[in-house]
Structure 1
Amino acid sequence: MRRHFLPFEADDEQSLARACWLMKRQRDDLEAIITNAVCKAFGGK
């Protein structure tokens, strides 16, 4: 996971925590995008 998000960082605790935060942020953003798309597709607001 760290190599995907932070390929040039070391394998230390702070880099791993940052990669976890980035992965959660990406997942939350994608969830919001999908929710909005479904609402628009079915005529919601």
Structure 2
Amino acid sequence: MCLIGLHKWKRSGGLNIYASNVREKYFVCTRCGKQKTTYEPKKD
């Protein structure tokens, strides 16, 4: 499934504060081990 882009993402670790108003989330695919990082605005 991962070969056609259908990864099964699972949260990996906690949050890192990248900047004062941005939050970093780490994910890892439970099938192939690929990692991704997403950035989202921090909600006050």
TM-score (norm 2): 0.20
Greater strand share, structure number: 2
Find the structure with the greater CA-based Rg. Answer: 1
TM-score (norm 1): 0.20
Higher relative contact order (Cα pairs below 8 Å, separated by 6+ residues): 2
Greater helix share, structure number: 1
